[in-house]
Copies of this chain bind each other. A is one copy, B any other.
Amino acid sequence: MSRILVDAMGGDYAPTEIIRGTVQAWEEYKRPITLIGKELTILEELRAAGADPADFTIVDASEVIENEETPTTAIRRKKDSSLVKAFEILREEHDSILISAGSTGAVLTGALLKVGRIKGVSRPGLAPLLPNPSGGSLLIDCGANVDSKPENLVDFAIMGSIYMEKVMGRENPTVGLINNGVEEKKGNALAKEAHQLLKQCPAIRFAGNVEARDVTSGAVDVLVCDGFVGNVVLKEAEGVASTLMGMIKDALYKSFLTKMAALVLKPGLTKVKALLNAEEYGGAPLLGINGGVIKAHGNSNAYAFKNAIRQAITFQENEVLRHIRTQMEAKKGNKG
């Protein structure tokens, strides 16, 4: 069985925005969706969103995992939480896909403890799309692990390449290693060793090192790095963009004349803003788990969550999991 599992209670604007987004996705894509969470609340929200509850499967879960909770403790203790129950369904139905806007730590921990890794995967990687003018690059890992080994980065590269090909339609995607210089011998101990392994890996198209000044230029399809560095790269892109757009907004609203000028420029600047808007991109797949997992942004509104569901459908339709399983098994076979 293959269905879409929605954690109705996870996210800053859950359950209202999550359920609204789910209803919009149902109207647009007509795929079987299961909502997990407090049944009465879900029924109420579905009706408020103008939906027919009969179109959805609802699985009741009385507890909610909050952002502040320690992930391991929360996953172990809150057995009746929407997230734990969703993962338990996913464990039985490996070809289903779970979407949650809840605590990143809890999603990562739950995925590992309740579902587990695909055979041959040393570590799963969280892989958001980093926006750029050429349609984005996949950044993997972005915080599923903070102290990675070189072989983890090779797994990230293989899984990231499959995702970019199958979900984003990039043919023969290129992989770059984030490093402090383009030269082969550059890097800290991890980057140097990972570079050598990536160079020798036949399953990917390695394009060498990428300096951080090029991470948003769209030079490669997949950007590979340690989760600590990936977290820095992702959050800094958001931060710099927001600081800059704030300053530009100040310049636009300075006087009557600049406000008039701003009106003329609005369509062009709206395009820039849209590019930076995480809502367009859906969520970040957690690759390497033996089941589909999409982590939607914590502050997802209905539109962002609908896009995360669209992404989940593409993930399923293109059998990303089956491809990762095959490739990682083969890698293991090659090694032995």
Interface residues of A (CB under 8 A from B): 132-133, 143, 146-147, 178, 180, 187-189, 191, 211-217, 226-229, 231-245, 247-248, 250-252, 254, 257-258, 260-262, 264-265, 268-269, 271-272, 275
5 contacts between A and B (CB under 8 A): A146-B187, A187-B228, A240-B240, A247-B272, A261-B265
Residue of B nearest to A237 (CB): B240
Q: In the bound complex, how far is the Cα of B271 from the Cα of A244, in angstroms?
A: 11
CB neighbours of A269 from chain B (8 A): 248, 251
A213 touching B235, Cβ below 8 Å: yes
**Interchain nearest-CB distance for A22 vs B (Å):** 28
Contacts A180-B143, A228-B229, A229-B228 hold; do A268 and B250 have CB atoms under 8 A apart? yes
Q: In the bound complex, how far is the Cα of B187 from the Cα of A248, in angstroms?
A: 33
CB neighbours of A236 from chain B (8 A): 212-213, 215-216, 232-233, 236-237, 240
CB neighbours of A244 from chain B (8 A): 240-241, 244-245, 272
**Interchain nearest-CB distance for A10 vs B (Å):** 18
Residue of B nearest to A244 (CB): B244
A275 touching B247, Cβ below 8 Å: yes
CB neighbours of A178 from chain B (8 A): 232
CB neighbours of A245 from chain B (8 A): 244
Q: In the bound complex, how far is the Cα of B316 from the Cα of A34, in angstroms?
A: 68
Most buried by B among A178, A239, A250, A251: A239
Given A211-B235, A215-B239, 12 more contacts at CB 8 Å? A146-B180, A187-B228, A215-B236, A217-B243, A232-B233, A236-B237, A237-B240, A240-B240, A241-B244, A247-B271, A251-B272, A252-B268
B132 touching A188, Cβ below 8 Å: no
